[in-house]
């Protein structure tokens, strides 16, 4: 689209990244949107990283974190990145962030109704005041036309609705609120039916936001254009209290990739790693528990190695950081090979990390060596379980691999000095305690292979195969409310199964597993230090 009229920037946008409490690294989401808006010629945008602004209210943890971060920066500048001292500071920083997360998350309400209730109760006054103090000065600007709320993670929904509440109290409909992000895409059905949400949010964007946001900003207030804007939900002019959706769809392709713009994010505060995308979609896209596969309904489409390398070079030049993290769900081994070759040909001296699917190609030491030579220093993947039965139900990419073979592949990756992070979860419908023990046992026995283990309970979510066909997975009943207290469960469902662990057993197992994993990591750190 080409606009001769420079008046297209007249609708000023404030984009807010609400707190989500546990981020080590700067997010790609908002910088990607901003880079794209500017690339299209829309410059009238400001960004507020409320995540960091909120952390700052959690002093003294914040002061301690900043101290550690400074120490780490000094070591890195002296060429001591990856030294034991630098690693030690990194681990301490992770611990402080974890504590801040626990402190902050302890109280967050879990359901949409519970979040909306908080506006009415005095007990939430101090939290509301904190949010108000942070956003009020930004909302006071008379030329502000739009606030964009990016809601990718469960915790962000709570803060985002609180911000929207402040906007509507302070500015009414003079400021329009547009919300987008993974949490919106996934829960759009629940959100558009809620009458309180209707008062707070004027527009929703599902899926990729670049083109919808640009079109909305450049055509508003022309209501006739709304049905033409892809991925948009807007208020039905004919029916009070209802939204309508445009029929048009926009799906990002690698041709749309731009150099992300980190305006508004203090890169000194986050750990040194800039996020980047190598592809769109997921190369597997078939895991039965995954909402991404269901929500996106798109093919995997890798970018060109040349363009990816050029974007990285652009970021190197603009921001001076040489560590890059691919935010993709997973890159294929074939694309990684092409990328590695490109980075080497372009003479890039960088470190990079990515998520992968566990593929037999990684059992080739020469392949891993090539990846390492190109700067790959970390791979992460969803191991989820090592039980063949459970992996089969989950329909994981590596469902045909026996635990011994998984171990063999991981050993080759680790020998190439590439660090490994894994994610596991417990309580997939019908999973027994024995099966959960098998997975936990595998991780504990092979703890030296892992540099990070992320563990959560299973959550039943909209837009997943398990939710669509619960009977097939042994689920006998689904509730809108959880009966058992689990973390990170906002807008997920409670359920019962015909066999396997119940939710209380899952909660108890996760607590036990977390303790054992922490102990194992502590021992490993001590062993390495001595």
According to the binding rule CB under 6 A, does residue 186 interact with ligand B12? yes
287 binds ligand SF4 (CB under 6 A): yes
- Torsion angle of C-alpha atoms 262, 268, 271, 273, degrees rounded to 10: 40
Give me the numbers of helices (H) and strands (E) for the chain, helices first please: 19, 17
Q: What is the 3-state secondary structure (H, E, C) of 382-442?
A: EEECCCHHHHHHHCCCCCCCCHHHHHHHHHHHHHCCCEEEEEEEECCCCCCHHHHHHHHHH
279 Cβ contact list (under 8 Å, min separation 6): 254, 300, 301, 302, 303, 328, 331, 335
Retrieve residue 326's tokens.
Answer: 């691919």
184 CB burial (10 A radius; 0-12, 13-18, 19+) = buried
> Least distance (Å) from ligand B12 to the CB of residue 148?
3
x/- letters, 324..363, toward ligand SF4 (CB under 6 A): -----xx--------------------------x------
Residues 429-458 that bind ligand B12 (CB under 6 A): 456
- Pick from 18, 35, 90, 180 the residue near ligand B12 by CB under 6 A: 180
Count CB-CB contacts under 10 A for residue 400. 11
Name the segment binding ligand B12 (CB under 6 A); options: 3-11, 222-230, 288-296, 345-353: 288-296
Contact flag: residue 380 with ligand SF4 (CB under 6 A): no
Residue with tokens 């021992």: 523
- Helix/strand/coil (H, E, C) string of 160-225? HHHHHHHHHHHHHHHCEEEEECHHHHHHHHHHHCCHHHHHHCCEEECCCCHHHHHHHHHHCCCHHH
Residue 203, phi then psi, degrees to nearest 5: -135, 145
Residue with smaller CB distance to ligand SF4, 378 or 397: 397
Question: Interacting stretch for ligand SF4, rule CB under 6 A, among 175-183, 250-258, 283-291, 446-454?
Answer: 283-291
Whichever of 96 and 279 has its CB closer to ligand SF4, that residue is 279
The answer to whether 21 contacts ligand B12 (rule: CB under 6 A) is yes
Site map (CB under 6 A) of ligand B12, residues 229-268, x = contact: -----------------------x----------------
DSSP state of 460: B
Picked from ligand B12, ligand SF4, none, the partner binding residue 331 (CB below 5 to 8 A depending on kind) is none
Among 290, 312, 358, 443, binds ligand SF4 (CB under 6 A): 290
DSSP H or E run through 490:
none
For ligand B12, the binding residue among 90, 181, 230, 305 (CB under 6 A) is 181
Among 152, 288, 351, 354, binds ligand B12 (CB under 6 A): 152
Which one, 318 or 523, has the nearer CB to ligand B12? 318
Region for residue 259 given its phi and psi (left: phi exceeds 0; alpha: psi -120 to 50; beta: otherwise): beta
Is residue 147 part of the contact set for ligand B12 (CB under 6 A)? no
Question: Residue 226: which of ligand B12, ligand SF4, none does it interact with, CB under 5 to 8 A by kind?
Answer: none
Cβ 195 vs Cβ 185: under 8 Å: no
Q: Residues 45, 279, 282, 475: which binds ligand SF4 (CB under 6 A)?
A: 282
Among 110, 233, 284, 326, binds ligand SF4 (CB under 6 A): 284
Burial 204-213 (b: 16+ CB within 10 A, else e): bbbbbbbbbb
Contacts of 474 (CB under 8 A, 6+ apart): 429, 430, 497, 498, 499, 500
Query: How far is residue 197's CA from residue 177's CA, in Å, rounded to a whole number?
Result: 11
Q: Report 314-343 residues binding ligand B12 (CB under 6 A).
A: 327, 329
Residue 268 or 402 having the CB closest to ligand B12: 268
| Residue among 136, 205, 131 nearest 171 (CA) | 136
Residue 287 interacting partner from ligand B12, ligand SF4, none (CB closer than 5 to 8 Å by kind): ligand SF4
Q: How many residues bind ligand SF4 (CB under 6 A)?
A: 13
Q: CA-CA distance, 200 to 198, in Å (whole number)?
A: 5
Q: Which of 86, 155, 166, 272 is close enough to bind ligand B12 by CB under 6 A?
A: 155
- Considering beta carbons, is residue 165 or 398 the nearer one to ligand SF4? 398
Task: Please report whether residue 293 would count as binding ligand SF4 according to CB under 6 A.
Answer: yes
- Residue 353's binding partner out of ligand B12, ligand SF4, none, with CB under 5 to 8 Å set by partner kind: none
C-alpha–C-alpha distance, residues 380 and 426, integer Å: 18
Distance CA 281, CA 528 (A): 38
Residue among 72, 183, 357, 374 that touches ligand B12 (CB under 6 A): 183
* Contact of 229 with 12, CB cutoff 8 Å: no
Residues making contact with ligand SF4 (CB under 6 A):
282, 284-287, 290, 292-293, 329-330, 357, 382, 397
- The binding site for ligand B12 (CB under 6 A) comprises 20-23, 25, 27-29, 32-33, 148, 150, 152-155, 178, 180-183, 186, 205, 208-210, 212-213, 252, 277, 290-292, 327, 329, 456, 488
């Amino acid at each position: 689209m080409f606009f001769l009229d420079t008046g297209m920037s007249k609708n000023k946008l404030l984009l807010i990244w609400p707190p989500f409490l546990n981020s080590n690294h700067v997010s790609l989401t908002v910088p990607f949107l901003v880079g794209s808006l500017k690339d299209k010629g829309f410059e009238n945008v400001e960004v507020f990283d409320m995540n960091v602004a909120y952390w700052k209210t959690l002093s003294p943890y914040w002061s301690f974190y900043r101290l550690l971060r400074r120490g780490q920066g000094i070591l890195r500048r002296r060429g001591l990145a990856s030294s034991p001292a630098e690693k030690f500071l990194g681990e301490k920083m992770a611990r402080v962030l974890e504590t801040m997360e626990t402190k902050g998350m302890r109280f967050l309400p879990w359901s949409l109704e519970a979040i909306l209730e908080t506006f009415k109760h005095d007990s939430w006054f101090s939290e509301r005041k904190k949010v108000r103090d942070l956003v009020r000065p930004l909302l006071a600007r008379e030329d502000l036309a739009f606030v964009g709320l990016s809601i990718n993670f469960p915790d962000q929904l709570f803060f985002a609705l609180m911000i929207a509440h402040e906007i509507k109290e302070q500015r009414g409909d003079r400021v329009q609120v547009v919300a987008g992000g993974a949490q919106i895409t996934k829960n759009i059905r629940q959100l558009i039916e809620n009458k309180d949400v209707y008062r707070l949010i004027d527009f929703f964007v599902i899926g990729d936001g670049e083109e919808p946001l640009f079109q909305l900003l450049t055509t508003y207030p022309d209501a006739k254009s709304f049905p033409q804007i892809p991925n948009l939900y807007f208020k039905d002019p004919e029916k009070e209290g209802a939204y309508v959706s445009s029929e048009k769809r926009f799906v990002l392709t690698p041709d749309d990739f731009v150099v992300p713009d980190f305006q508004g994010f203090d890169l000194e505060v986050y750990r040194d790693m800039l996020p980047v995308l190598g592809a769109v979609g997921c190369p597997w896209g078939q895991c039965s528990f995954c909402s991404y596969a269901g929500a996106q309904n798109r093919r995997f489409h890798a970018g060109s190695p040349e363009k990816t390398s050029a974007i990285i070079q652009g970021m190197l030049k603009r921001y001076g950081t040489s560590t890059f993290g691919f935010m993709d769900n997973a890159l294929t081994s074939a694309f990684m090979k092409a990328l590695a070759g490109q980075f080497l040909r372009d003479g890039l001296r960088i470190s990079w990390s990515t998520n992968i699917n566990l593929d037999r190609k990684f059992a080739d030491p020469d392949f891993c060596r090539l990846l390492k030579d190109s700067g790959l220093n970390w791979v992460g993947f969803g191991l989820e379980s090592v039980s063949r039965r459970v992996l089969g139900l989950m329909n994981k990419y590596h469902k045909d691999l026996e635990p011994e073979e998984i171990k063999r592949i991981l050993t080759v990756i680790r020998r190439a000095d590439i660090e490994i992070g894994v994610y596991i979860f417990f309580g997939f419908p019908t999973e027994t305690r024995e099966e959960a023990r098998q997975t936990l046992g595998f991780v504990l026995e092979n703890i030296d292979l892992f540099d990070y283990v992320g563990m959560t309970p299973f959550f039943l979510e909209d837009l997943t195969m398990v939710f669509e066909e619960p009977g097939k997975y042994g689920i006998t009943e689904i509730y809108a409310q959880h009966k058992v207290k689990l973390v990170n469960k906002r807008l997920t469902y409670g359920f019962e199964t015909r066999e396997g662990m119940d939710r209380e057993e899952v909660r108890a197992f996760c607590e036990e597993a977390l303790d054992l994993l922490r102990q194992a990591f502590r021992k490993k750190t001590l062993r390495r230090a001595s």
